[in-house]
Amino acid sequence: TVGAVGYGAYEIHRKRHPHEQKPFDPTKRTVVVLGSGWGAVSFLKSINTDDYNVMVVSPRNYFLFTPLLPSCTVGTIELRSIMEPIRFITQHKSRNVRFYESECTDIDPESKTISISDVSDIKGAVTNTTIPYDYLVMAVGADNQTFGFKSQTPEEVDRLLHMVVVGGGPTGVEYAAELHDFLKDDLEVWYPELADKFRITLVEALPNVLPMFSSQLIQYTESTFKQNKIEVLTKTMVKEVADKEIKVMDANKNIVSIPYGLLVWATGNCPRPLTRKLMARIKDKQTSPRGLLVDDYMRVAGAPDMYAIGDCTFSKYAPTAQVATQQGLYLASVFESLARIEEGQNKKITPFEYSHQGSLAYIGSDKAIADLPFLNGNVSVGGVATYVFWRSVYISNMFSFRNRFLVVGDWMKSKVFGRDVSR
Protein backbone atom coordinates (compact mmCIF):
# COMPACT_ATOMS: atom_id res chain seq x y z
CA THR A 1 0.00 0.00 0.00
CA VAL A 2 2.81 2.37 0.93
CA GLY A 3 4.47 1.68 -2.44
CA ALA A 4 1.22 2.39 -4.28
CA VAL A 5 0.72 5.66 -2.38
CA GLY A 6 4.33 6.63 -3.08
CA TYR A 7 3.97 5.82 -6.77
CA GLY A 8 0.67 7.74 -6.91
CA ALA A 9 2.33 10.77 -5.35
CA TYR A 10 5.24 10.49 -7.80
CA GLU A 11 2.83 10.27 -10.75
CA ILE A 12 1.00 13.41 -9.60
CA HIS A 13 4.36 15.16 -9.17
CA ARG A 14 5.62 14.00 -12.58
CA LYS A 15 2.48 15.09 -14.40
CA ARG A 16 2.66 18.52 -12.78
CA HIS A 17 6.33 18.89 -13.68
CA PRO A 18 6.62 17.84 -17.35
CA HIS A 19 10.24 17.66 -18.38
CA GLU A 20 10.39 19.50 -21.65
CA GLN A 21 8.40 21.14 -24.40
CA LYS A 22 8.08 18.64 -27.25
CA PRO A 23 9.01 19.61 -30.86
CA PHE A 24 6.39 20.59 -33.42
CA ASP A 25 5.36 18.44 -36.41
CA PRO A 26 6.21 20.46 -39.61
CA THR A 27 3.40 18.73 -41.58
CA LYS A 28 0.68 20.18 -39.34
CA ARG A 29 -0.89 23.63 -39.23
CA THR A 30 0.04 25.89 -36.37
CA VAL A 31 -2.55 27.43 -34.07
CA VAL A 32 -1.29 30.33 -31.96
CA VAL A 33 -3.37 31.16 -28.90
CA LEU A 34 -2.94 34.55 -27.21
CA GLY A 35 -3.68 34.48 -23.49
CA SER A 36 -3.75 32.05 -20.57
CA GLY A 37 -7.05 33.01 -18.98
CA TRP A 38 -10.47 31.40 -19.00
CA GLY A 39 -11.06 31.48 -22.77
CA ALA A 40 -7.59 30.26 -23.73
CA VAL A 41 -7.46 27.47 -21.13
CA SER A 42 -10.91 26.20 -22.00
CA PHE A 43 -9.80 26.03 -25.66
CA LEU A 44 -6.48 24.37 -24.78
CA LYS A 45 -8.12 21.72 -22.65
CA SER A 46 -10.32 20.64 -25.57
CA ILE A 47 -8.20 21.10 -28.71
CA ASN A 48 -6.79 17.88 -30.11
CA THR A 49 -3.04 18.47 -30.40
CA ASP A 50 -2.72 15.45 -32.70
CA ASP A 51 -4.42 17.61 -35.37
CA TYR A 52 -2.46 20.86 -34.92
CA ASN A 53 0.76 22.37 -33.60
CA VAL A 54 -0.53 24.53 -30.77
CA MET A 55 1.38 27.40 -29.22
CA VAL A 56 0.30 29.73 -26.43
CA VAL A 57 1.72 33.20 -26.00
CA SER A 58 0.92 34.96 -22.75
CA PRO A 59 2.82 37.09 -20.26
CA ARG A 60 1.14 35.19 -17.42
CA ASN A 61 2.55 31.71 -16.84
CA TYR A 62 -0.45 30.54 -14.85
CA PHE A 63 -4.21 30.30 -15.09
CA LEU A 64 -6.01 32.33 -12.41
CA PHE A 65 -9.41 31.18 -11.11
CA THR A 66 -10.76 34.75 -10.97
CA PRO A 67 -14.17 33.97 -9.33
CA LEU A 68 -12.36 33.30 -6.04
CA LEU A 69 -10.04 36.33 -6.33
CA PRO A 70 -12.08 38.50 -3.91
CA SER A 71 -11.70 35.76 -1.24
CA CYS A 72 -7.92 36.14 -1.57
CA THR A 73 -7.98 39.84 -0.79
CA VAL A 74 -9.14 39.15 2.77
CA GLY A 75 -7.16 35.94 3.32
CA THR A 76 -10.01 33.41 3.13
CA ILE A 77 -8.16 31.65 0.32
CA GLU A 78 -4.46 31.75 -0.51
CA LEU A 79 -3.71 33.29 -3.90
CA ARG A 80 -1.56 30.31 -4.83
CA SER A 81 -4.48 27.94 -4.28
CA ILE A 82 -6.35 29.43 -7.24
CA MET A 83 -3.39 29.56 -9.61
CA GLU A 84 -2.60 26.67 -11.95
CA PRO A 85 0.80 26.68 -13.73
CA ILE A 86 0.25 26.85 -17.46
CA ARG A 87 2.75 24.02 -18.06
CA PHE A 88 0.45 21.60 -16.30
CA ILE A 89 -2.36 22.57 -18.65
CA THR A 90 -0.28 22.68 -21.82
CA GLN A 91 1.41 19.31 -21.28
CA HIS A 92 -1.25 17.36 -19.45
CA LYS A 93 -1.11 13.64 -20.36
CA SER A 94 -0.47 13.46 -24.16
CA ARG A 95 -1.44 17.12 -24.79
CA ASN A 96 1.43 18.91 -26.53
CA VAL A 97 1.17 22.68 -26.43
CA ARG A 98 4.15 25.03 -26.52
CA PHE A 99 4.16 27.97 -24.18
CA TYR A 100 5.93 31.30 -24.64
CA GLU A 101 5.96 33.55 -21.61
CA SER A 102 5.78 36.79 -23.53
CA GLU A 103 3.55 39.64 -24.47
CA CYS A 104 2.22 39.82 -28.01
CA THR A 105 2.79 43.44 -29.11
CA ASP A 106 1.38 43.40 -32.61
CA ILE A 107 -0.61 41.26 -35.04
CA ASP A 108 -0.33 41.44 -38.80
CA PRO A 109 -3.40 39.68 -40.26
CA GLU A 110 -2.03 40.03 -43.83
CA SER A 111 1.29 38.28 -43.32
CA LYS A 112 -0.35 36.11 -40.60
CA THR A 113 2.35 36.84 -38.06
CA ILE A 114 2.47 38.07 -34.50
CA SER A 115 5.24 40.09 -32.85
CA ILE A 116 6.42 39.32 -29.37
CA SER A 117 8.61 41.59 -27.26
CA ASP A 118 11.76 40.39 -25.60
CA VAL A 119 13.99 42.25 -23.10
CA SER A 120 17.41 41.17 -24.27
CA ASP A 121 20.28 42.69 -22.32
CA ILE A 122 21.52 44.22 -19.08
CA LYS A 123 20.50 47.73 -20.19
CA GLY A 124 16.94 46.54 -20.84
CA ALA A 125 17.08 46.80 -24.67
CA VAL A 126 14.02 45.20 -26.26
CA THR A 127 14.13 43.00 -29.35
CA ASN A 128 11.09 41.88 -31.26
CA THR A 129 10.49 38.41 -32.63
CA THR A 130 7.94 37.50 -35.28
CA ILE A 131 6.02 34.24 -35.15
CA PRO A 132 3.94 33.01 -38.10
CA TYR A 133 0.59 31.31 -37.60
CA ASP A 134 -1.95 29.42 -39.66
CA TYR A 135 -4.75 30.15 -37.21
CA LEU A 136 -4.75 32.74 -34.43
CA VAL A 137 -6.97 32.56 -31.36
CA MET A 138 -7.27 35.92 -29.56
CA ALA A 139 -8.05 35.39 -25.88
CA VAL A 140 -6.14 38.32 -24.36
CA GLY A 141 -8.92 39.47 -22.04
CA ALA A 142 -9.69 43.10 -21.43
CA ASP A 143 -6.67 44.21 -19.48
CA ASN A 144 -3.11 43.35 -20.38
CA GLN A 145 -0.13 43.09 -18.07
CA THR A 146 3.27 44.20 -19.42
CA PHE A 147 5.70 41.51 -18.33
CA GLY A 148 8.87 41.30 -20.47
CA PHE A 149 9.83 38.13 -22.28
CA LYS A 150 13.12 36.85 -20.88
CA SER A 151 15.76 36.03 -23.48
CA GLN A 152 18.92 37.75 -22.29
CA THR A 153 22.57 37.58 -23.30
CA PRO A 154 24.50 34.64 -21.73
CA GLU A 155 26.29 37.02 -19.31
CA GLU A 156 22.95 38.51 -18.28
CA VAL A 157 21.43 35.04 -17.78
CA ASP A 158 24.43 34.14 -15.58
CA ARG A 159 23.97 37.28 -13.53
CA LEU A 160 20.23 36.83 -13.12
CA LEU A 161 20.61 33.22 -12.02
CA HIS A 162 23.36 34.01 -9.51
CA MET A 163 21.91 34.24 -6.02
CA VAL A 164 24.12 35.76 -3.38
CA VAL A 165 23.46 35.46 0.35
CA VAL A 166 25.48 37.81 2.57
CA GLY A 167 26.08 36.62 6.15
CA GLY A 168 27.07 33.12 7.23
CA GLY A 169 25.14 33.12 10.51
CA PRO A 170 22.25 30.67 10.90
CA THR A 171 19.85 32.93 8.97
CA GLY A 172 22.11 33.11 5.90
CA VAL A 173 23.00 29.40 6.06
CA GLU A 174 19.39 28.25 6.42
CA TYR A 175 18.26 30.56 3.65
CA ALA A 176 21.00 29.32 1.26
CA ALA A 177 19.97 25.74 2.16
CA GLU A 178 16.28 26.35 1.41
CA LEU A 179 17.14 28.15 -1.82
CA HIS A 180 19.30 25.19 -2.88
CA ASP A 181 16.42 22.75 -2.24
CA PHE A 182 14.03 24.90 -4.23
CA LEU A 183 16.40 25.15 -7.20
CA LYS A 184 17.30 21.45 -7.06
CA ASP A 185 13.89 19.90 -6.37
CA ASP A 186 11.70 22.18 -8.43
CA LEU A 187 13.32 24.69 -10.76
CA GLU A 188 15.67 22.08 -12.26
CA VAL A 189 12.64 19.95 -13.11
CA TRP A 190 10.69 22.86 -14.54
CA TYR A 191 13.59 24.48 -16.39
CA PRO A 192 16.13 21.69 -17.13
CA GLU A 193 17.79 23.86 -19.77
CA LEU A 194 18.80 26.30 -17.00
CA ALA A 195 19.80 23.64 -14.44
CA ASP A 196 23.57 24.12 -14.72
CA LYS A 197 23.26 27.92 -14.71
CA PHE A 198 21.74 28.40 -11.23
CA ARG A 199 24.43 29.43 -8.74
CA ILE A 200 24.32 30.19 -5.02
CA THR A 201 27.14 31.99 -3.23
CA LEU A 202 27.31 32.57 0.52
CA VAL A 203 29.55 35.46 1.57
CA GLU A 204 30.91 35.57 5.13
CA ALA A 205 33.39 38.06 6.60
CA LEU A 206 34.73 35.69 9.29
CA PRO A 207 36.97 32.63 8.63
CA ASN A 208 33.99 30.24 8.82
CA VAL A 209 30.20 30.10 8.83
CA LEU A 210 28.05 29.38 11.91
CA PRO A 211 30.58 30.45 14.56
CA MET A 212 28.17 29.44 17.37
CA PHE A 213 28.27 25.74 16.35
CA SER A 214 31.01 23.21 17.13
CA SER A 215 33.93 22.99 14.68
CA GLN A 216 32.79 19.48 13.69
CA LEU A 217 29.37 20.82 12.60
CA ILE A 218 30.92 23.83 10.86
CA GLN A 219 33.01 21.42 8.75
CA TYR A 220 29.99 19.21 8.12
CA THR A 221 27.97 22.23 6.94
CA GLU A 222 30.76 23.51 4.69
CA SER A 223 31.25 20.06 3.10
CA THR A 224 27.47 19.61 2.62
CA PHE A 225 27.36 23.04 0.93
CA LYS A 226 30.26 22.00 -1.31
CA GLN A 227 28.41 18.82 -2.34
CA ASN A 228 25.32 20.94 -3.01
CA LYS A 229 27.42 23.34 -5.15
CA ILE A 230 26.83 26.28 -2.85
CA GLU A 231 30.01 28.34 -3.02
CA VAL A 232 31.08 29.59 0.41
CA LEU A 233 33.35 32.66 0.34
CA THR A 234 34.74 33.09 3.84
CA LYS A 235 37.05 35.93 4.95
CA THR A 236 35.15 37.97 2.36
CA MET A 237 33.48 41.19 3.45
CA VAL A 238 30.88 43.08 1.44
CA LYS A 239 31.99 46.68 1.13
CA GLU A 240 29.49 48.11 -1.31
CA VAL A 241 26.11 47.15 -2.76
CA ALA A 242 25.02 48.37 -6.20
CA ASP A 243 21.96 47.60 -8.30
CA LYS A 244 23.40 44.55 -10.06
CA GLU A 245 26.66 43.76 -8.28
CA ILE A 246 28.35 43.82 -4.90
CA LYS A 247 31.94 44.83 -4.20
CA VAL A 248 33.71 42.62 -1.70
CA MET A 249 37.12 42.60 -0.05
CA ASP A 250 38.39 39.05 -0.48
CA ALA A 251 40.75 37.04 1.72
CA ASN A 252 43.78 38.66 -0.03
CA LYS A 253 42.38 42.15 0.64
CA ASN A 254 41.54 42.68 -3.05
CA ILE A 255 38.33 44.45 -3.99
CA VAL A 256 36.35 42.15 -6.30
CA SER A 257 33.02 42.71 -8.02
CA ILE A 258 30.36 39.95 -7.86
CA PRO A 259 27.33 40.35 -10.16
CA TYR A 260 24.05 39.04 -8.74
CA GLY A 261 20.43 38.51 -9.80
CA LEU A 262 19.16 38.09 -6.25
CA LEU A 263 20.87 39.48 -3.15
CA VAL A 264 19.77 38.41 0.30
CA TRP A 265 21.17 40.34 3.25
CA ALA A 266 21.46 38.36 6.50
CA THR A 267 24.20 40.09 8.47
CA GLY A 268 22.66 40.12 11.92
CA ASN A 269 20.67 42.45 14.15
CA CYS A 270 20.82 46.06 15.27
CA PRO A 271 18.40 48.00 17.52
CA ARG A 272 15.16 49.34 16.03
CA PRO A 273 14.71 53.16 15.76
CA LEU A 274 12.29 53.15 18.75
CA THR A 275 14.85 51.33 20.89
CA ARG A 276 17.59 53.75 19.78
CA LYS A 277 15.36 56.70 20.63
CA LEU A 278 14.71 55.33 24.12
CA MET A 279 18.41 54.61 24.66
CA ALA A 280 19.24 58.20 23.65
CA ARG A 281 16.80 59.51 26.28
CA ILE A 282 18.49 57.62 29.08
CA LYS A 283 21.96 57.60 27.60
CA ASP A 284 23.76 58.00 30.89
CA LYS A 285 22.58 54.47 31.83
CA GLN A 286 22.22 52.99 28.32
CA THR A 287 25.83 52.82 27.22
CA SER A 288 25.74 49.97 24.68
CA PRO A 289 24.90 50.74 21.02
CA ARG A 290 23.83 47.11 20.55
CA GLY A 291 20.60 47.10 22.56
CA LEU A 292 18.88 47.93 25.83
CA LEU A 293 20.88 47.10 28.92
CA VAL A 294 18.77 45.22 31.47
CA ASP A 295 19.61 43.74 34.85
CA ASP A 296 19.07 40.10 35.86
CA TYR A 297 15.41 40.87 36.56
CA MET A 298 14.86 42.24 33.03
CA ARG A 299 14.58 45.79 34.37
CA VAL A 300 15.73 48.47 31.90
CA ALA A 301 18.69 50.39 33.29
CA GLY A 302 17.74 54.04 33.85
CA ALA A 303 13.95 53.65 33.39
CA PRO A 304 11.87 52.81 36.46
CA ASP A 305 9.03 50.28 36.01
CA MET A 306 10.27 49.38 32.53
CA TYR A 307 11.24 45.84 31.53
CA ALA A 308 12.71 44.60 28.27
CA ILE A 309 13.02 41.08 26.86
CA GLY A 310 14.27 39.44 23.68
CA ASP A 311 16.17 40.93 20.75
CA CYS A 312 15.72 44.56 21.81
CA THR A 313 18.04 43.90 24.74
CA PHE A 314 21.79 43.47 24.76
CA SER A 315 22.82 40.79 27.20
CA LYS A 316 25.24 37.89 27.59
CA TYR A 317 22.84 35.61 25.69
CA ALA A 318 22.49 35.34 21.90
CA PRO A 319 19.44 37.10 20.41
CA THR A 320 17.37 33.97 19.85
CA ALA A 321 13.74 32.88 20.11
CA GLN A 322 14.85 30.47 22.82
CA VAL A 323 16.18 33.31 24.98
CA ALA A 324 13.19 35.60 24.26
CA THR A 325 10.74 32.80 25.16
CA GLN A 326 12.43 32.01 28.45
CA GLN A 327 12.66 35.71 29.32
CA GLY A 328 8.95 36.15 28.52
CA LEU A 329 8.01 33.22 30.78
CA TYR A 330 10.30 34.50 33.51
CA LEU A 331 8.84 38.02 33.36
CA ALA A 332 5.30 36.68 33.61
CA SER A 333 6.35 34.86 36.80
CA VAL A 334 7.87 38.11 38.13
CA PHE A 335 4.59 39.92 37.53
CA GLU A 336 2.70 37.09 39.24
CA SER A 337 5.00 37.44 42.27
CA LEU A 338 4.64 41.26 42.29
CA ALA A 339 0.83 40.89 42.38
CA ARG A 340 1.00 38.42 45.29
CA ILE A 341 3.48 40.68 47.16
CA GLU A 342 1.05 43.59 46.75
CA GLU A 343 -1.65 41.38 48.32
CA GLY A 344 0.65 40.98 51.32
CA GLN A 345 2.05 37.52 50.58
CA ASN A 346 5.68 36.71 51.21
CA LYS A 347 7.25 36.06 47.78
CA LYS A 348 10.87 36.14 46.75
CA ILE A 349 11.78 37.27 43.24
CA THR A 350 14.84 35.41 41.95
CA PRO A 351 16.99 36.58 39.00
CA PHE A 352 16.51 35.22 35.46
CA GLU A 353 18.52 32.13 34.65
CA TYR A 354 18.88 31.02 31.06
CA SER A 355 18.77 27.29 30.36
CA HIS A 356 20.29 26.49 26.96
CA GLN A 357 18.37 23.70 25.23
CA GLY A 358 20.74 23.46 22.24
CA SER A 359 21.15 24.90 18.73
CA LEU A 360 19.62 23.55 15.55
CA ALA A 361 19.93 24.58 11.92
CA TYR A 362 18.75 23.24 8.56
CA ILE A 363 21.56 22.95 5.98
CA GLY A 364 19.73 21.61 2.88
CA SER A 365 19.14 18.25 1.12
CA ASP A 366 17.09 17.00 4.10
CA LYS A 367 20.01 17.43 6.50
CA ALA A 368 20.18 19.43 9.72
CA ILE A 369 22.79 19.99 12.42
CA ALA A 370 22.30 20.07 16.18
CA ASP A 371 24.50 20.98 19.13
CA LEU A 372 22.70 19.64 22.17
CA PRO A 373 23.60 19.80 25.86
CA PHE A 374 24.01 16.27 27.19
CA LEU A 375 24.82 15.43 30.82
CA ASN A 376 27.55 17.99 31.57
CA GLY A 377 28.84 18.17 28.01
CA ASN A 378 27.62 18.69 24.48
CA VAL A 379 26.64 16.34 21.61
CA SER A 380 27.07 17.40 17.99
CA VAL A 381 24.97 15.55 15.43
CA GLY A 382 24.17 16.12 11.79
CA GLY A 383 22.34 14.40 8.93
CA VAL A 384 18.92 13.18 7.85
CA ALA A 385 17.87 11.87 11.29
CA THR A 386 18.75 15.28 12.76
CA TYR A 387 16.51 16.84 10.12
CA VAL A 388 13.57 14.72 11.32
CA PHE A 389 14.40 15.84 14.87
CA TRP A 390 14.65 19.51 13.67
CA ARG A 391 11.19 19.28 12.14
CA SER A 392 9.63 17.68 15.21
CA VAL A 393 11.21 20.28 17.55
CA TYR A 394 9.88 23.19 15.50
CA ILE A 395 6.43 21.67 15.13
CA SER A 396 6.17 21.04 18.87
CA ASN A 397 7.34 24.62 19.60
CA MET A 398 4.67 26.26 17.46
CA PHE A 399 2.18 28.30 19.43
CA SER A 400 -1.10 26.95 18.04
CA PHE A 401 -2.57 23.76 16.65
CA ARG A 402 -3.59 25.80 13.60
CA ASN A 403 0.06 26.69 12.86
CA ARG A 404 1.13 23.06 13.30
CA PHE A 405 -1.64 21.83 11.00
CA LEU A 406 -0.83 24.41 8.30
CA VAL A 407 2.94 23.81 8.39
CA VAL A 408 2.61 20.01 8.25
CA GLY A 409 0.10 20.48 5.41
CA ASP A 410 2.53 22.75 3.54
CA TRP A 411 5.38 20.23 3.93
CA MET A 412 3.16 17.46 2.57
CA LYS A 413 1.85 19.66 -0.23
CA SER A 414 5.31 20.56 -1.47
CA LYS A 415 6.47 16.93 -1.22
CA VAL A 416 3.57 15.66 -3.33
CA PHE A 417 3.04 18.54 -5.78
CA GLY A 418 6.43 20.26 -5.65
CA ARG A 419 6.89 23.86 -4.59
CA ASP A 420 4.77 26.50 -6.23
CA VAL A 421 6.96 28.32 -8.74
CA SER A 422 4.31 30.43 -10.44
CA ARG A 423 4.30 34.12 -9.68
Which member of 118, 204, 222, 371 binds ligand NAD (CB under 6 A)? 204
Per CB under 6 A, which of residues 358..387 are in contact with ligand NAD?
Answer: 359-361
Q: Which does 310 bind (CB under 5 to 8 A by kind): ligand NAD, ligand FAD, none?
A: ligand FAD
Cα–Cα distance list, 92 to 21, 46, 72, 218 (Å):
11, 11, 27, 45
Task: Give the residue at shortest CB distance from ligand NAD.
Answer: 169
CA–CA gap between residue 115 and residue 109 (Å, rounded)? 11
- CB environment 194-205: b (16+ within 10 A), e (fewer): eeeebbbbbbbb
Per CB under 6 A, which of residues 167..206 are in contact with ligand FAD?
Answer: 171
Backbone phi, psi, residue 222, to 5°: -65, -35
CA–CA gap between residue 226 and residue 9 (Å, rounded)? 30
Distance of CA 128 to the CA centre of its chain: 33
Q: Which does 274 bind (CB under 5 to 8 A by kind): ligand NAD, ligand FAD, none?
A: ligand FAD
The DSSP symbol for 187 reads I
165 counts as binding ligand NAD under rule CB under 6 A: no
Nearer to ligand FAD, 239 or 272 (CB): 272
Nearer to ligand FAD, 71 or 269 (CB): 269
* CB of 206 vs ligand FAD, minimal distance in Å: 19
Task: Give the residue at shortest CB distance from ligand FAD.
Answer: 310
Strands (E) across 7-112 are located at 30-34, 53-58, 62-64, 83-85, 97-101, 104-108
* CB of 238 vs ligand NAD, minimal distance in Å: 4
DSSP secondary structure, 3-37, as one string = HHHHHHHHHHHHHHS---PPPPPTTS-EEEEE--S
Nearest Cα residue to 314 out of 341, 332, 351, 287: 287
Nearest Cα residue to 356 out of 302, 404, 320, 399: 320
18 counts as binding ligand FAD under rule CB under 6 A: no
Which member of 148, 261, 319, 383 binds ligand FAD (CB under 6 A)? 319
Mark the segment that binds ligand NAD (CB under 6 A) among 5-13, 203-211, 221-229, 256-264: 203-211
Q: Any residues with CB less than 8 A from the CB of 348 and at least 6 apart, and which? A: 337
Mark the segment that binds ligand FAD (CB under 6 A) among 87-95, 314-322, 344-352, 364-372: 314-322
274 counts as binding ligand FAD under rule CB under 6 A: yes
Site string for ligand NAD, 303-322 (x = CB under 6 A): ---------------xxx--
CA–CA gap between residue 109 and residue 133 (Å, rounded)? 10
* CB of 417 vs ligand FAD, minimal distance in Å: 25
Which residues bind to ligand FAD, rule: CB under 6 A? 171, 272, 274, 310-312, 319-322, 324
